[in-house]
Amino acid sequence: MAPPIPSPPAIRALVLAAAFGTTLLLVASGCAYQETAPPRPYLKESPAAKASKPAGKAPAPDGVRALTDAQARSALISETDLGEPWMPTRGAATWRDGFLKAATTTPHCRRLLDALYADDLLGVPARAAIGLDDDYADGQLRYQVTSRAPAEVDRALTWLRKLPRGDCAKFVATGPGGERRTVTVTGVPLPEAGDARQGLRVEVTRDLGGEPVTLTLEVAAVRVGDDALTITNGGLGEILTESTWTAAELGAERLAQVRKQGRAQV
């Protein structure tokens, strides 16, 4: 008989135990991934922990009229838009370090892992961002609004589109403690939102307590004129795809409305 699949709380406990063990190993070895304290369920100064704070003002690319900070914030979605089980984030989930802090020798695959860990799919800082939590499934959704030249956003979308068809469709990554992680990347459909878009499903599997545990991420990037939005929806339990779709549709509509209301010339 196959062993029972651990529940989200049990998986969370395994992740915490593995992260704590990794921390002790790295402190002993002086590795570059060293941390100063055992991980907590939510780490306050990680990218997702800063989600509720105003994003730093990023300079607009040449030729791009930037949204004001107030306009960018008004284009954000919230837990009210997505409904249950979403709530404001308490910080970065422990699975971020436990699954996404990894390296591989293939440049495009390494770029993907780095972008997922940094919450930076388009390569520029967010103008505004928000994080939401699903405690039952140990899930987290990160929604960002940014400004970037349309041609640069389209190049990033092309890169994302090629990942499931190349070397990154399935590859092995190595964590800071030397453990192996199998990463699978597939394309996922998105609603007809914005001017251009691309979605991916990324599954990262590693051994925890003698059992394979998988982190599943749905990521999406949508261009709306000179602006763009990105979504990362992931967790160790069931992923709510409808939340990804709602965030993409509603976010693109809201961003388009903000653009019509006027923009600040930089």
Q: What was the pLDDT predicted at 148?
A: 87
Q: What was the pLDDT predicted at 94?
A: 83
Q: What angle do CA 251, 138, 117 make, to 5 degrees?
A: 65
Which segment of 31-40, 115-124, 153-162, 210-219 scores lowest on mean pLDDT? 31-40
Mean pLDDT of the chain: 80
For residue 202, pLDDT over 60 is answered with yes
- Domain 8-260 architecture: 3-Layer(aba) Sandwich (3.40)
Q: What percent of the chain has pLDDT over 70?
A: 73
Q: What was the pLDDT predicted at 118?
A: 92
Q: What percent of the chain has pLDDT over 90?
A: 62
Q: What is the pTM of this model?
A: 0.76
Q: What was the pLDDT predicted at 53?
A: 40
- Tell me the pLDDT band of 23, cut-offs 50, 70 and 90: very low
Distance CA 129, CA 240 (A): 20
Which segment of 48-57, 130-139, 218-227, 250-259 scores lowest on mean pLDDT? 48-57
How far, rounded to the nearest angstrom, does the alpha carbon of residue 211 sit from its chain's CA centroid? Answer: 24
Distances (CA, A) of 242 to 32, 189, 233: 38, 12, 10
The dihedral formed by the CA atoms of 118, 123, 124 and 127, expressed in degrees to the nearest 10: -60
For residue 180, pLDDT over 70 is answered with yes
Which segment of 19-23, 79-83, 152-156, 238-242 scores lowest on mean pLDDT? 19-23
For residue 61, pLDDT over 80 is answered with no
For residue 59, pLDDT over 60 is answered with no
- Tell me the pLDDT band of 158, cut-offs 50, 70 and 90: very high
How far, rounded to the nearest angstrom, does the alpha carbon of residue 78 sit from its chain's CA centroid? Answer: 16
Find the mean pLDDT for residues 119-127.
90
Q: What was the pLDDT predicted at 26?
A: 36
Give the closest residue to 89 by CA, choosing from 105, 81, 78.
78
For residue 9, pLDDT over 60 is answered with no
- Tell me the pLDDT band of 262, cut-offs 50, 70 and 90: low
Name the more confident of 82 and 260. Answer: 82
Find the mean pLDDT for residues 257-262.
83
> Which H or E run contains 259?
helix 241-260
Find the mean pLDDT for residues 247-257.
96
Q: Where are the beta strands (DSSP E) in 189-244?
A: 196-208, 211-224, 227-235
